[in-house]
């Protein structure tokens, strides 16, 4: 589920002076206050989660972001982060806050970018069954700390990526098509980003419990036992009928009481 929270950074240069320029925005007003106001931009953001097959679950997130820029600013790189909440309620219960990171660049000045891809899970650790896995149910960027406790170095894009990459379970953006850049940018034309983040079915791996291990072991034992018993039975019958294994009949001695008849062979 999209948390209606995102941030983006536009990088480029001034066409006249060649000086690097940066435009930043976050949907969290408090986080914007922590950064230099000279790089802050106020874009027009439109997002919607669309349910195409009418099953009650969103199939993708569609977004359009339009940023008004100074006339001489040339943009050639976009960095964005969309923040999601992931909930899994099954044998392994998982609740976490994740991010989808987009980082695209072009060699020339651009006026628009269109992206399309899938939201995928990257799992390096097994989940615990029948337990609530809440260890990553915290913001990727913590906006709740007092300003005095926030270190300036922790607000950089690189530090955010480093902390997020340390997670054993996280999400990522997998482009289904190459990003499409549009250039050049006309005078007073805003920079526009459009795209879709598609929600695809995922499979989670979890550590099985003792009863699941025993059940699987018992089923495997019965399967192997039935296979071995069947093979041994037909092998034994073939060996006896073919004379591979010599056999003879042992006749029990007759009781000494009257009334018993002898064997007739």
Per-residue pLDDT tens over the stretch 80-97: 999 999 888 877 788 888
Residue 133 has pLDDT above 70, yes or no: yes
Nearest to 208 by CA among 96, 91, 93: 91
CA angle 134, 155, 48 (to 5 degrees): 65
Model pTM greater than 0.85?
no
Q: How confident is the model at residue 152 (pLDDT cuts 50, 70, 90)?
A: low
Nearest to 82 by CA among 14, 156, 139, 2: 2
Query: Average of pLDDT values for 157-186?
Result: 88
Q: How confident is the model at residue 59 (pLDDT cuts 50, 70, 90)?
A: very high
Pair of tokens at residue 226: 């039935």
The span from the CA of 96 to the CA of 112, in Å, is: 32
The span from the CA of 214 to the CA of 224, in Å, is: 15
The CA-based diameter of the chain, rounded to the nearest angstrom, is 129
25: helix, strand or coil: strand
**Residue of higher predicted confidence among 245 and 151:** 245
- How many angstroms separate the Cα of 45 from the Cα of each of 6, 7, 34, 93, 193? 10, 11, 21, 33, 10
Q: How confident is the model at residue 102 (pLDDT cuts 50, 70, 90)?
A: very high
253: helix, strand or coil: coil
User: Which residue pairs, CB below 8 angstroms and at least 24 apart, start in 35-43?
Assistant: 35/155, 41/10, 41/67, 41/68, 41/69, 42/68, 43/8, 43/67, 43/68
User: What pLDDT is stored for residue 179 in this prediction?
Assistant: 93
Residue 265 has pLDDT above 60, yes or no: no
- Length of the chain equals 265
């Amino acid at each position: 589920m999209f948390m209606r929270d995102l941030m983006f950074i536009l990088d480029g240069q001034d066409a006249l002076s060649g000086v690097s320029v940066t435009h930043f925005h976050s949907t969290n007003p408090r986080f914007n206050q922590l950064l230099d106001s000279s790089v802050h931009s106020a874009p027009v953001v439109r997002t919607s989660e669309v349910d195409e097959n009418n099953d009650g679950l969103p199939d993708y997130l569609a977004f359009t972001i339009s940023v008004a820029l100074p006339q001489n600013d040339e943009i050639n790189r976009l960095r964005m982060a969309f923040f999601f909440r992931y909930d899994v309620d099954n044998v392994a219960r998982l609740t976490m806050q994740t991010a989808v990171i987009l980082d695209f660049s072009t060699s020339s000045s651009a006026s628009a970018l269109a992206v399309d891809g899938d939201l995928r899970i990257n799992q390096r650790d097994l989940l615990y069954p029948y337990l609530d896995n809440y260890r990553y149910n915290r913001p990727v960027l913590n906006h709740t700390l007092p300003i005095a406790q926030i270190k300036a170095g922790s607000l950089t894009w690189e530090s955010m990526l480093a902390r997020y990459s340390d997670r054993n379970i996280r999400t990522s953006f997998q482009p289904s098509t190459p990003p499409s850049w549009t250039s050049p940018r006309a005078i007073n034309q805003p920079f526009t980003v459009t795209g879709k983040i598609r929600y695809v079915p995922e499979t989670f791996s979890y550590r099985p419990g003792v009863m699941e291990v025993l059940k699987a072991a018992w089923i495997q034992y019965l399967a192997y036992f039935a296979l071995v018993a069947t093979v041994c039975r037909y092998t034994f019958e073939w060996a006896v009928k073919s004379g591979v294994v010599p056999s003879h009949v042992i006749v029990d001695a007759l009781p000494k009481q009257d009334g018993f008849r002898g064997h007739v062979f």
